[in-house]
């Protein structure tokens, strides 16, 4: 950029409920920890919103010039059906009901999650940190904090939340109703106290259990994130992310553990960031309610995963986002429009893999400079991706600006959007729904025949062909401005 000052990156810190400038612990470095999936089931598309948000944050940090270290954990032990100390262990329950080993369950759902990560173009973190690989470290951590901060009950070792300063500040438990959601456990000193180690009960037949000074059992769910974030990022690192539900119980409990371990009032991360929920009025974002929406459901309907990524980018991460098929298909239409514009732009720039778009020229067109500055301002404002997308639209429409320069700029934008814009085309976007009654080849063949019939003014034949396509669920889109030509209607 030329004369414009580089905007500071402002991020919303849930601890203060305010925007704060990002000031890394170590100059030039950004260390981020993201609470990952519990691999007892598939991740629904709401869960994937949390990882899209963390990815956008990581990409933005890189765009702003930081060297990113991102850790995402995989929870394969300890998470109960309630985030507090109630219910069954989600992993044990899934294994018992399917008759499979818990390790097989974990492997299957971890791999399914990674497949979705790839399909959504989410950047791989520096490490996927698996909870059960860290049991010894969890035991060491628990032993260290136990004397001053924990007490034992028949059911296990519990953290005394009155032993740390200002417990629950993140959740604002004093002012909101966070605590009321925590299930009572006999003998707990405070309702908010939580399990650090859960003893296996005699009637339980656990597949996963380890010896400990407090009996055979398994770690409490919150322990893993304190242990793994400290191990890989340090006692005080930059940013911790998760869904908004974690602001209530899981993250306040992590903070309490971190304070106990470091004998300080420090929370562990300087900035705690939370994405709001993807909601669905039909209840399709609840795994306990039966059928729920996964990425594969969208793909089966012929919707490219990147349309979902775009749908998330169109909303601010702190706003609730309502899922409807209409919203999703509007995002797909916008993506198709981008694909058509990108195809034209690449043609105009005579673009091939050898075209150098790795950097902007020293003196770019003023519109390029302005757009880059506007983009930086938008994403630096607590990741305002919705605004940043309008700047992309604008530059796509700047027909008089040099095409290679525009491509180079869009390549920079896409390091944040992750929409694969340089390769995006109508063909890559087209997915035939898995359950479609007709193949794309048959559709194309009928369309070619129909075009010939129309050229011969044989409108009766053309109508017959259209009716055949409609009967197979294909919508023929004559004169579609996006050049889409056909779609399978659902």
The listed partner (Zn ion, ligand AMP, none) that binds 46, CB under 5 to 8 Å by sort, is ligand AMP
We find the least distance from the C-beta atom of residue 83 to ligand AMP, in angstroms, to be 9
Decide if residue 246 touches ligand AMP (CB under 6 A). Answer: yes
Size of the site for Zn ion (CB under 5 A): 2
The listed partner (Zn ion, ligand AMP, none) that binds 257, CB under 5 to 8 Å by sort, is none
Q: Which of 47, 44, 72 has its CA nearest to residue 58?
A: 72
* Distance, CA of 246 to CA of 230 (rounded, Å): 18
Nearest 5 degrees, angle CA 230-CA 258-CA 186? 130
We find the least distance from the C-beta atom of residue 122 to ligand AMP, in angstroms, to be 13
Query: Which CB atom, from 13 or from 47, has the smaller least distance to ligand AMP?
Result: 47
Query: Which CB atom, from 105 or from 404, has the smaller least distance to ligand AMP?
Result: 105
Collect all residues with Cβ–Cβ distance below 8 Å to 249 and sequence separation of at least 6: 83, 84, 171, 178, 181, 182, 194
Binder among 72, 105, 225, 407 for Zn ion (CB under 5 A): 225
* Distance, CA of 124 to CA of 229 (rounded, Å): 17
Binder among 9, 30, 35, 278 for Zn ion (CB under 5 A): 35
Alpha-carbon distance values, 254 to 38, 211, 249 (Å)? 17, 23, 9
Query: Which CB atom, from 35 or from 335, has the smaller least distance to Zn ion?
Result: 35
Contact 385, 57 (CB under 8 A): no
Decide if residue 38 touches ligand AMP (CB under 6 A). Answer: yes
Query: Which CB atom, from 244 or from 374, has the smaller least distance to ligand AMP?
Result: 244
Query: Which CB atom, from 49 or from 134, has the smaller least distance to ligand AMP?
Result: 49
Burial 53-70 (b: 16+ CB within 10 A, else e): bbbbbbbbbbbbebebbb
The listed partner (ligand AMP, Zn ion, none) that binds 50, CB under 5 to 8 Å by sort, is ligand AMP
CB atoms within 10 A of CB 35: 22
Binder among 47, 60, 229, 259 for ligand AMP (CB under 6 A): 47
Decide if residue 242 touches ligand AMP (CB under 6 A). Answer: yes
Nearest 5 degrees, angle CA 178-CA 183-CA 185? 130
We find the least distance from the C-beta atom of residue 263 to Zn ion, in angstroms, to be 22
The listed partner (ligand AMP, Zn ion, none) that binds 277, CB under 5 to 8 Å by sort, is ligand AMP
Q: Which of 480, 444, 490, 489 has its CA nearest to residue 340?
A: 480
* Distance, CA of 388 to CA of 286 (rounded, Å): 31
Beta strand extents in 263-356 (DSSP E only): 269-275, 278-279, 321-322
The listed partner (ligand AMP, Zn ion, none) that binds 37, CB under 5 to 8 Å by sort, is ligand AMP
Binding-residue pattern over the window 261 to 300 for ligand AMP, x denoting contact by CB under 6 A = --------------x-xx------x---------------
DSSP state of 305: H
* Distance, CA of 218 to CA of 199 (rounded, Å): 7
- Residues at the site binding Zn ion, with contacts judged by CB under 5 A: 35, 225
- Residues at the site binding ligand AMP, with contacts judged by CB under 6 A: 35, 37-38, 46-47, 49-50, 75, 242-243, 245-246, 275, 277-278, 285
């Amino acid at each position: 950029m030329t004369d414009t000052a580089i905007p500071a990156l402002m991020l919303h810190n849930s601890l203060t409920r305010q925007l704060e400038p990002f000031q890394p612990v170590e100059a030039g470095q950004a260390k981020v920890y993201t609470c990952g999936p519990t691999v007892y089931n598939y991740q629904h598309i709401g869960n994937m919103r949390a990882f899209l948000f963390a990815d956008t944050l990581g990409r933005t940090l890189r765009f702003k010039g930081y060297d990113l270290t991102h850790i995402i954990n995989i929870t394969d032990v300890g998470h109960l059906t309630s985030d507090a100390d109630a219910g069954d262990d989600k992993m044990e329950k899934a294994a018992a009901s399917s008759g499979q080993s818990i390790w097989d369950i974990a492997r299957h759902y971890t791999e399914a999650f990674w497949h979705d990560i790839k399909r959504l173009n989410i950047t791989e973190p520096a490490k996927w940190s698996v909870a059960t690989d860290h049991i010894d470290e969890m035991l060491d951590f628990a032993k260290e904090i136990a004397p001053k901060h924990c007490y034992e009950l028949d059911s296990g070792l519990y953290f005394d939340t009155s032993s740390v300063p200002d417990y629950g500040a993140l959740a604002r438990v004093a002012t909101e109703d966070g605590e009321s959601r925590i299930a009572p456990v006999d003998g707990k000193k405070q309702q908010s106290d939580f399990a650090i180690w859960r003893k296996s009960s005699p009637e339980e037949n656990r597949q996963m259990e380890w010896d400990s000074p407090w009996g055979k059992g398994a770690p409490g769910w919150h322990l893993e994130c304190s242990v793994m974030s400290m191990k890989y990022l340090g006692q005080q690192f930059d940013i911790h992310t998760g869904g908004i539900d974690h602001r209530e119980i899981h993250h306040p409990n992590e903070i309490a553990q971190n304070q106990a371990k470091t004998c300080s009032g420090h929370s562990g991360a300087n900035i705690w960031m939370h994405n709001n929920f993807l909601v669905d009025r039909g209840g399709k974002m609840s795994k306990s309610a039966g059928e729920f929406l996964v990425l594969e459901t969208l793909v089966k309907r012929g919707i490219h995963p990147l349309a979902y990524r775009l749908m998330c980018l169109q909303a601010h991460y702190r706003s609730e986002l309502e899922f409807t098929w209409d919203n999703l298909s509007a995002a797909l239409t916008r993506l198709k429009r981008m694909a058509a514009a990108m195809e034209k732009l690449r043609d105009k720039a005579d673009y091939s893999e050898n075209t150098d778009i790795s950097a902007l020229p020293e003196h770019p067109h003023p519109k390029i400079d302005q757009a880059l500055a506007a983009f930086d301002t938008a994403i630096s404002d607590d990741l305002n991706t919705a605004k940043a997308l309008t700047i992309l639209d604008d530059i796509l429409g700047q027909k008089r600006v040099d095409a290679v320069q525009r491509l180079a700029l869009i390549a920079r934008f896409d390091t944040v959007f992750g929409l694969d814009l340089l390769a995006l085309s109508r063909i890559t976007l087209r997915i035939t729904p898995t359950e479609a009654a007709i193949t794309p080849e048959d559709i194309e063949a009928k369309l070619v025949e129909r075009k010939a019939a129309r050229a011969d003014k044989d409108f009766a034949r053309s109508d017959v062909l259209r009716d055949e396509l409609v009967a197979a669920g294909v919508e023929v889109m004559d004169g579609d401005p996006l050049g889409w030509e056909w779609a399978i209607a659902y």
